[in-house]
């Protein structure tokens, strides 16, 4: 990615707090039948559970029955070693930064839980798959209305602190900021259908442009090239480092464009070689390129007649106009245009445009008589 977001603290985190409490203090230590007393450690959640029980409505019933069902499945498991392992794995699934930066840390997937305790996996999956979205019990008043209130409020605070209004994952498309009445969707960076426990962890959620989210990334996994095809026993060997969207130390990427054709008007993606470098971040760059289709999209931009070709033509045509104002040195004119193109990397694809024009100059394609 071209840059990272700043993580913000927000009330919405209390929902993950409820889930952490349920996991560590209720489900993992399940013993005997479930009742409201099991929630004594979290009086707010206990009250919500009691109120839902008295009210008898769909989402409230779903929430209560789900936490009871997961409790009951944990209660049946007498394998303390598995439960102890699960503590580390729950922590791993929620520590997205560590999973991105440390390949020795392994997440747990639904498939792995299913292979050992299929009823437990079903109970967890049934619950977690509903937590984010229009069917979430967290949309209820008692939880502060996730979709109607908490997410819009989080988005506004998020965009106040993250106001570039450009998608950091591609740098191509805008991100709607606070001057818009609509917002971008949040993406689950580690796919929520693959990994349990992090569907409402906002360190695993990031606003993303529609094209990145719904066309390219979909359910691709930044930390495994193809998780489903990996032998669970060998999964350690297939881990991939990835950029963490909230990293405070994101490297500057060096992007180079190389053209193997001088026919700029008929440029094809196969005429372009893209080199994206940052020392020590080779794997993260590969993960990013794979998940977001970066090579395809950047090459398509260079071949687009209203982008790449227009960047080129604007320099050539601009010189014709500049000549009327007494500018005579084409090389100096090109240098000026290159500096302008690269002045702001996030404006008008500056990160790519400047490199594309530099290559056109270096290849001798850019000249006044074109
Ligand atoms: Zn994007």
Give the distance (Å) from ligand 1 centre to CA of residue 78. 46
Query: Which residue(s) pair with 259 in the sheet?
Result: 272
Q: What are phi and psi of 70, to 5 degrees?
A: -65, -40
Give the distance (Å) from ligand 1 centre to CA of residue 171. 6
- 31-57 pLDDT, tens digit per residue, is 999 999 999 999 999 999 999 999 989
Rounded alpha-carbon distances, angstroms, from residue 6 to 168, 170, 246, 250, 327: 11, 17, 6, 11, 44
Give the distance (Å) from ligand 1 centre to CA of residue 152. 20
Give the distance (Å) from ligand 1 centre to CA of residue 294. 10
Which parts of the chain have pLDDT scores under 70? 227-237, 369-370
| Among the listed residues 250, 270, 166, 273, the one whose alpha carbon sits nearest the alpha carbon of residue 211 | 166
pLDDT for the residue 88: 96
Give the distance (Å) from ligand 1 centre to CA of residue 139. 28
Give the distance (Å) from ligand 1 centre to CA of residue 254. 19
pLDDT for the residue 238: 80
The pair of three-digit structure tokens given for residue 16, joined into one six-digit string: 């993950």
pLDDT for the residue 232: 61
CB proximity list for 235: less than 8 A, separation 6 or greater: 106, 224, 227
Give the distance (Å) from ligand 1 centre to CA of residue 168. 6
pLDDT for the residue 234: 61
Rounded alpha-carbon distances, angstroms, from residue 40 to 34, 50, 75, 138, 144: 12, 12, 18, 20, 21
CA distance 106 to 236: 7
Strands (E), the chain: 186-188, 205-207, 254-259, 272-277
Give the distance (Å) from ligand 1 centre to CA of residue 263. 29
The pair of three-digit structure tokens given for residue 80, joined into one six-digit string: 């303390």
Give the distance (Å) from ligand 1 centre to CA of residue 94. 24
Query: Which residue(s) pair with 205 in the sheet?
Result: 188
**DSSP SS3 for 174:** strand
CA distance 122 to 85: 19
Give the distance (Å) from ligand 1 centre to CA of residue 210. 7
Rounded alpha-carbon distances, angstroms, from residue 285 to 1, 173, 279: 8, 19, 10
DSSP string covering 245-283, please? TT-SSPPPPEEEEEES---GGG--GGGEEEEEE-TT-HH
Residues with CB under 5 A from ligand 1 (ion): 167, 169-170, 173, 209, 212
Give the distance (Å) from ligand 1 centre to CA of residue 343. 21
Give the distance (Å) from ligand 1 centre to CA of residue 256. 20
Rounded alpha-carbon distances, angstroms, from residue 36 to 33, 159, 201, 229, 255: 10, 39, 25, 42, 57
pLDDT for the residue 56: 84
Mean pLDDT, all residues of the chain: 95
Give the distance (Å) from ligand 1 centre to CA of residue 300. 14
Query: Domain spans of the chain?
Result: 13-238, 254-362
DSSP string covering 178-246, please? TTSSS-PPEEESS-TTTSSS-TT-TTSEEE--HIIIIIIITT--TTBS-GGGS-GGGGGGGB-----TT
pLDDT for the residue 131: 97
Give the distance (Å) from ligand 1 centre to CA of residue 251. 18
| Among the listed residues 278, 256, 257, 259, the one whose alpha carbon sits nearest the alpha carbon of residue 268 | 259
pLDDT for the residue 248: 97
Give the distance (Å) from ligand 1 centre to CA of residue 172. 6
- 136-163 pLDDT, tens digit per residue, is 999 999 999 999 999 999 999 999 999 9
């Amino acid at each position: 990615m071209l840059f990272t977001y700043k993580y913000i603290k927000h009330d919405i985190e209390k929902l993950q707090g409820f889930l952490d409490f349920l996991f560590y203090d209720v489900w993992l230590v399940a013993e005997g039948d479930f009742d409201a007393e099991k929630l004594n450690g979290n009086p707010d959640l206990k009250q919500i559970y009691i109120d839902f029980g008295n009210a008898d409505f769909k989402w409230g019933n779903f929430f209560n029955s789900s936490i009871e069902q997961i409790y009951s499945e944990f209660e049946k498991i007498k394998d303390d070693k598995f439960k102890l392992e699960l503590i580390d794995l729950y922590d791993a699934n929620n520590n997205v930064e560590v999973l991105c930066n440390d390949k020795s840390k392994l997440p747990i997937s639904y498939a792995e839980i299913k292979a050992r305790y299929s009823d437990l996996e079903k109970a967890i999956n049934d619950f977690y798959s509903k937590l984010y979205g229009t069917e979430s019990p967290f949309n209820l008043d008692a939880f502060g209305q996730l979709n109607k209130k908490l997410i819009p409020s989080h988005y506004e605070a998020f965009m106040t602190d993250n106001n570039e209004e450009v998608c950091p994952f591609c740098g191509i498309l805008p991100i709607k900021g606070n001057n818009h009445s609509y917002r971008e969707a949040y993406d689950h960076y580690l796919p929520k259908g693959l990994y349990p426990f992090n569907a409402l962890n906002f360190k695993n959620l990031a606003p993303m442009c529609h094209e990145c989210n719904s066309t390219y990334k979909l359910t691709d996994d930044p930390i495994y090239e193809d998780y489903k095809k990996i032998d669970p026993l060998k999964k350690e060997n297939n881990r991939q480092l990835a950029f963490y969207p909230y990293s405070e130390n994101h490297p500057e990427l060096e992007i180079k464009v190389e053209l193997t054709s001088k026919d700029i008007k008929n440029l094809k993606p196969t005429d372009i070689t893209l080199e994206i470098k940052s020392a020590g971040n080779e794997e993260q760059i590969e993960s990013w390129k794979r998940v977001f289709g970066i090579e395809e999209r950047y090459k398509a931009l260079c071949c687009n007649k209203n982008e790449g070709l227009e960047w080129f033509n604007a320099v050539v045509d601009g010189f014709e106009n500049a000549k009327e104002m007494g500018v005579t040195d084409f090389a100096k004119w090109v240098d000026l245009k290159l500096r302008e193109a690269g002045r702001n990397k996030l404006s008008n694809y500056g990160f790519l445009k400047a490199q594309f024009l530099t290559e056109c100059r270096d290849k001798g394609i850019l000249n006044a008589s074109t």
